[in-house]
């Protein structure tokens, strides 16, 4: 079975600072990996997706994530945080590209 | 872009009644739809996988007689919470998938907040 672990349930950053959200996966076969963002009382929006094509994946809103097999990690970064980045972020893993298992989520707050 | 809607967005019902939640893919035909449940400040828990014209596949621990799923067409799936109780209060989110190239794209609805009093 596959799973993901998100390290840190809450991350607080200053506006303009680096955003780093950590995700480690466990999978018996090469997985598909995803990052989603959820704003309050809304559904999920896909930020980016890893499908084994390239280890550095660029997503929307300036986010990117790097797949590191040796570390079983798929950390999400954004060089400069914006107030609008305040939200809940979920890492997810899938073996077949559509049935997802989600991490516990990381809440991001951005300080002015 | 692909849009998934849910109706209603918010519902309050009395204990013992049933509530139906609709999930629609507005501008594409969905090969598969999924239903998730999300408790406050927690992650999404997959409840069931729904394919048009066939019975839903429920995840372990999810009561199929309590959470009835009907997938009548390629654009509509419904979740009925039967004999609802306060512990069923939660945020229910659906997603719809479609083929995109060699893989799938999955689009999430905005969610339905159910409160059982």
pLDDT-based confidence at residue A33 (cuts at 50, 70, 90): very high
So what's the pLDDT on residue B35?
96
* A56 touching B (Cβ < 8 Å): no
| pLDDT tens digit sequence for B31-89 | 899 999 998 878 889 999 998 888 899 999 999 999 999 988 999 999 999 999 999 99
- DSSP of A6-26: EE-SEEEEETTS-EEEEEEEE
| pLDDT tens digit sequence for A41-97 | 788 999 999 987 789 999 999 999 999 999 999 999 999 999 999 999 999 998 876
Distance between CA atoms of residues B1 and B25, nearest Å: 11
Closest-CA distance of chain B to residue A110, Å: 18
So what's the pLDDT on residue B20?
98
Closest-CA distance of chain A to residue B22, Å: 14
Q: Across the interface, which of B6, B32, B108 has its CB nearest the CB of A44?
A: B108
Nearest residue in B to A45, CA atom: B108
CA distances from A103 to A6, A67, B108 (A): 6, 16, 16
So what's the pLDDT on residue A105?
94
List A residues 90-109 in contact with B (Cβ-Cβ < 8 A). Answer: 90, 97-105, 107
Is B12 or A2 the better-scoring residue by pLDDT? B12
pLDDT-based confidence at residue B99 (cuts at 50, 70, 90): confident
pLDDT-based confidence at residue A28 (cuts at 50, 70, 90): confident
So what's the pLDDT on residue B42?
83
Closest-CA distance of chain B to residue A97, Å: 6
Residue B88, helix vs strand vs coil: helix
Q: Which residues of A touch B95 (CB under 8 A)?
A: 43-44
* B103 touching A (Cβ < 8 Å): yes
pLDDT reading at A107 higher than 70: yes
Q: Are the beta carbons of B108 and A45 separated by less than 8 Å?
A: yes
Mean pLDDT for A5-28 is: 95
Task: Extract the runs of DSSP E, i.e. beta strands, from B14-102.
Answer: 19-25, 32-38, 44-51, 57-58, 67-73, 76-81, 90-100
Residue B86, helix vs strand vs coil: helix
pLDDT-based confidence at residue A10 (cuts at 50, 70, 90): very high
Distance between CA atoms of residues A90 and A21, nearest Å: 9
CB neighbours (10 Å) of residue A96? 11
Mean pLDDT for A28-33 is: 85
Contact A32, A91 (CB under 8 A): no
The number of CA neighbours under 13 Å toward the Cβ of B4 is 31
Distance between CA atoms of residues B107 and A43, nearest Å: 9
So what's the pLDDT on residue A97?
62
Distance between CA atoms of residues A9 and B45, nearest Å: 17
Distance between CA atoms of residues A66 and A56, nearest Å: 4
| pLDDT tens digit sequence for A87-98 | 999 999 988 767
pLDDT reading at A25 higher than 80: yes
Q: What six digits make up the tokens of B53? A: 């014209």
CA distances from B90 to A38, A88, B38, B73, B109 (A): 16, 17, 6, 26, 15
Looking only at the bridges linking them, the beta strands covering B90-100 and B103-108 are antiparallel
Residues in CB range of B60: below 8 A, 6 or more apart = none
Distance between CA atoms of residues B83 and B35, nearest Å: 18
The number of CA neighbours under 13 Å toward the Cβ of A47 is 27
């Amino acid at each position: 079975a596959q799973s993901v672990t998100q390290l840190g349930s809450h991350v607080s950053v200053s506006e303009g600072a680096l955003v780093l959200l950590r995700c480690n996966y466990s999978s018996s076969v090469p997985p598909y990996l995803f990052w989603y963002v959820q704003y309050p009382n809304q559904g999920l929006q896909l930020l980016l997706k890893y499908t084994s094509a390239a280890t550095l994946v660029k997503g929307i809103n300036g986010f990117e994530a790097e797949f590191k097999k040796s570390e079983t990690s798929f950390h999400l970064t954004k060089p400069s945080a914006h107030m609008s980045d305040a939200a809940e972020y979920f890492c997810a893993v899938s073996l077949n590209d559509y049935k997802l298992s989600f991490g516990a989520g990381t809440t991001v707050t951005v300080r002015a | 872009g692909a849009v998934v809607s849910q109706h209603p967005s918010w519902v309050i019902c009395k204990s013992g009644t049933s509530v139906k939640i609709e999930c629609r893919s507005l501008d594409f035909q969905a090969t598969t739809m999924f239903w998730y449940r999300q408790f406050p400040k927690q992650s999404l828990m997959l409840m069931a996988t729904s394919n048009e014209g066939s019975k839903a596949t429920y995840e372990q621990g999810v009561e199929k007689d309590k959470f009835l799923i009907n997938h009548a067409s390629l654009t509509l799936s419904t979740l009925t919470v039967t004999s609802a109780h306060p512990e069923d209060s939660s945020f229910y989110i659906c997603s719809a998938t479609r083929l995109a190239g060699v893989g799938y794209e999955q689009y999430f609805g905005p969610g339905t907040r159910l409160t059982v009093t």
